[in-house]
Amino acid sequence: MPDTSSRSPVELLGPAPIAPISPIVSMAPIASKAGATHAQLPRPPSRVPHYLQQVYWWAYVHPRAVRFFERGWLVNAILFGNYTRLRQAAIAAMAKPGEPGEPGEPGEAGEQEGRIPGRSLQVACVYGDLTPRLHKALAPGAQLDVLDILPVQLDNLANKLPQLEGVHLLPGDSSALPMADACYEQVLMFFLLHEQPEAVRRATLAQALRVLKPGGKLVIVDYHRPAAWHPLRPLMRLVFKWLEPFAMDLWRHEVTSFLPAQDPPLKVEQQLYFGGLYQKLVLRR
Ligand SMILES: C[S@@+](CC[C@H](N)C(=O)[O-])C[C@H]1O[C@@H](n2cnc3c(N)ncnc32)[C@H](O)[C@@H]1O
C-alpha cells in the first residue's frame, strides 16, 4: 500500500467528475447588445481547466456542489461573517462616488455611495448575491458582463438574476479573455486569484489590465496574510493545505507581485479586513 499519510485530500482524490457542458448562457444576444467587441467572442471553452477539475470540482464543477454551496449563510460562514462587508466594499469600489442613482437599502452603506458607470466586467461567478447587487448598483445605461469558464456556474447565476437588462453572461477563460483591449471602465475579481495556479493567476491579472480602459479600475477582493496574532491563522493554514493549495501564495506575496510591469505604473490602494485575512485592492490604470 502506498503511504498516503502526508498527502492532502486534494492529492488523494480520484478522478474528478466532469460537469456536463451546457449551452452558452447569455442574458441577451451577445452581438446585438454588447457591441462589436463581443461579436468577436470565440466558441465557449470545451475543456475545464486542470486545476478546477482536480482541486475545485467539489466546489464549482459538480452540479451537486453548486446546489450545496449556493446558500447565503454558508458563503458568509466560510468568510467568518465577512461576506456582506466584503461585498459592499467591492461594490463601493466599483461605483463612482456622486453618480446619481436610486437610494440603496438601509444598512448597505458602501452600496449607497454611488452608481457603477459604463461597462464593467466581473471575472468569474460568485456564490451569494454579489452579482444581483452589482446589477442593482449599475448607473442608468451601464452594462455588466460576467465571464466564467464553467457553464454550470453561468446557469446558476442566470437563475439568481431577476432582470436581464444590462447584464451579459459570457463563457470564457480569465487567462485568455475574449474581449478587445481597453473596453471596460471597471473589472472585478472576487476571491478568484487564490484559486488559480501562479501562471494562470499572472495571465488573469495581465488580461484584466489589458481589457481596462485608461483611467479604469481593477478591483480585487481576496485573501491576504493575516496578522501574526490572528486566531484563525492555524485553521486557515490547514484549510489551504488540504483544500486550496494555491491560496498560500497570497499570504506569501502581495497581489501586485503577480502583475506585469506597467508604464505608467498603476495607482494601488489596499485595504485590509478582519485582522488582515482579507484584502481589497483597487488598481487604477
Ligand atoms: C470567483 S471564484 C471563487 C468565488 C467564491 N469562493 C465564492 O463564494 O463563490 C469561483 C469561480 O471562478 C471560476 N473560474 C475559475 N477559474 C476560471 C478561469 N480560468 N476562467 C474563468 N472562470 C474561472 C469558477 O468556474 C467559479 O465559478
Residue 4 within a domain = no
Does 48 fall in a domain? yes
Residue 133 resides in a domain: yes
Cα atoms in the Cβ-side hemisphere of radius 13 Å centred on 224? 21
Domain assignment present for 262: yes
Cα 171 to the center of its chain, rounded Å: 14
Spacing, Cα 98 to ligand 1 middle (Å): 31
Compute the distance from residue 276 Cα to the ligand 1 centre, in Å.
22
Angle at 266 between CA 126 and CA 196, to 5 degrees: 35
List, for residues 200-211, the tens digit of each pLDDT value.
999 999 999 999
- Cβ(222) – ligand 1 distance below 6 Å: no
- State the pLDDT at residue 143: 96
| Closest-lying ligand 1 atom to the alpha carbon of residue 128 | 8
pLDDT band at 15 (very low <50, low <70, confident <90, very high): very low
Mean pLDDT of the chain: 83
- Summarised one tens digit per residue, pLDDT across range 189-202 is 999 999 999 999 99
Beta bridge partners of residue 280, listed in sequence order: 221, 271
Structural domain count, the chain: 1
220 lines ligand 1 (CB under 6 A): no
**pLDDT class of 183 with cuts at 50, 70, 90:** very high
Cis-peptide into 226, omega within 30 deg: no
148 CB within 6 A, ligand 1: yes
Q: Is position 81 within any domain?
A: yes
When pLDDT is averaged across residues 39-61 and rounded to a whole number, the result is 74
Asked whether 153 lines ligand 1 (CB < 6 A), one says yes
CA 15, CA 285: separation in Å to the nearest integer?
Answer: 42
Q: Tell me if 130 CB under 6 Å of ligand 1.
A: no
* 7 has a pLDDT exceeding 80: no
Task: Give residue-wise pLDDT tens across range 79-118.
Answer: 999 999 999 999 999 997 655 544 444 444 444 568 999 9
Joined together, the cell numbers standing for residue 268 give: 494601488
CATH classification of the domain holding 209: 3.40.50.150
Spacing, Cα 2 to ligand 1 middle (Å) = 33
In a domain, 16, yes or no: no
CA of 194 from ligand 1 middle (Å) equals: 10
Residue 26 resides in a domain? no
Three-class secondary structure assignment of 91-111: HHHHCEECCCCCCCCCCCHHH
Could you tell me the pLDDT band of residue 38, with boundaries at 50, 70 and 90? very low
**Model pLDDT for residues 59-88, shown as the tens digit of each residue:** 999 889 999 999 999 999 999 999 999 999
Ligand 1 touching residue 61 (CB < 6 A)? no
The finding on whether 125 has its CB within 6 A of some atom of ligand 1 is: yes
The residue whose CA has the least distance to atom 13 of ligand 1 is: 124
Per-residue model confidence as pLDDT tens digits over 113-138: 689 999 999 999 999 999 999 999 99
Q: State the amino acid at position 205 in one-letter form.
A: L
Let me know if residue 24 belongs to a domain. no
pLDDT at 98: 55
Segments forming the whole domain that contains residue 230 = 36-284
